[in-house]
Amino acid sequence: MLRGRVEEQDNQIQTIQQEQQDRYLDLDRRIAALMVAEPVIDDVPKVVATSGSNVASSTPSVAPGDAYKAAMTLVREKKFSEAGAAFDTFVSQYPSDPLVPNARYWSGEVNLVDGQLDRAAERFRTVIGDFPDSAKAADAAYKLGVTMHRKGDDQQARMWLQQVIDRYAGKADGTVSLAKSYLGKIGQKAP
């Protein structure tokens, strides 16, 4: 009876892990699709970013969780420049909050979508360097590899993608799978 329950729970865990990986891959695909739509996005942000900065800086009494959720809502609404400003404001207002690594990561994501590759790389490096044990460290290393590839630096891209594979295998398998796939796209077979 116990063996049956253990097998049943093992099955449930595997199903949950697969669903989590599928969700992550779906999110990554959607963000990649948004990056293709870059020219349309570039017309909107400049006006939005200014108003977003003023709104974010004038409301320091907002709870950290609410400020983070508001920034994520802006991402979902495809207001990328405004979301980037909101994440940066979050980090400056709540520097010791546990969501800071996530905010830095998402700031990098919206910079990547907006085509601000240097700024995106800086944000991803911050997550990797300042928060190496964060759940977002593997994702940041992967996205740094993607960013380096977009900048035309395939050697750095390969190095970061390989680092994801080497460092996060068994810890962030969905991200490792993405890194292997992307490494294959830029001309090097992953192990």
Question: What does the pLDDT look like over 30-72, one tens digit per residue?
Answer: 665 555 443 333 333 333 333 344 444 444 567 888 888 888 8
Res. 184: pLDDT tops 70: yes
| Tally of CB atoms within 10 A around 142 | 26
- Average pLDDT on 16-37 reads 65
Question: Nearest to residue 101, comparing CAs of 136, 125, 69, 74?
Answer: 136
- Average pLDDT on 147-176 reads 91
Contacts of 111 (CB under 8 A, 6+ apart): 84, 117, 119, 120, 123
Model confidence at 25, in pLDDT bands (50, 70, 90)? Answer: low
Q: What is the pLDDT of residue 54?
A: 41
Res. 175: pLDDT tops 80: yes
Q: What is the pLDDT of residue 173?
A: 85
- What are the helix (H) ranges across 58-113? 64-76, 80-93, 100-113
Percentage of residues in the chain with pLDDT exceeding 70? Answer: 77
What distance in Å separates the CA atoms of residue 146 and residue 98, rounded to the nearest whole number?
26
DSSP 44: S
Q: For 87-127, what is each residue's pLDDT tens digit?
A: 999 999 999 999 999 999 999 999 988 889 999 999 999 99
Q: What is the pLDDT of residue 58?
A: 44
Q: What is the pLDDT of residue 34?
A: 55
Model confidence at 29, in pLDDT bands (50, 70, 90)? Answer: low
What distance in Å separates the CA atoms of residue 2 and residue 159, rounded to the nearest whole number?
46
- Average pLDDT on 15-25 reads 74
Residue 126 near residue 104, CB atoms below 8 Å: yes
Q: What is the pLDDT of residue 190?
A: 45
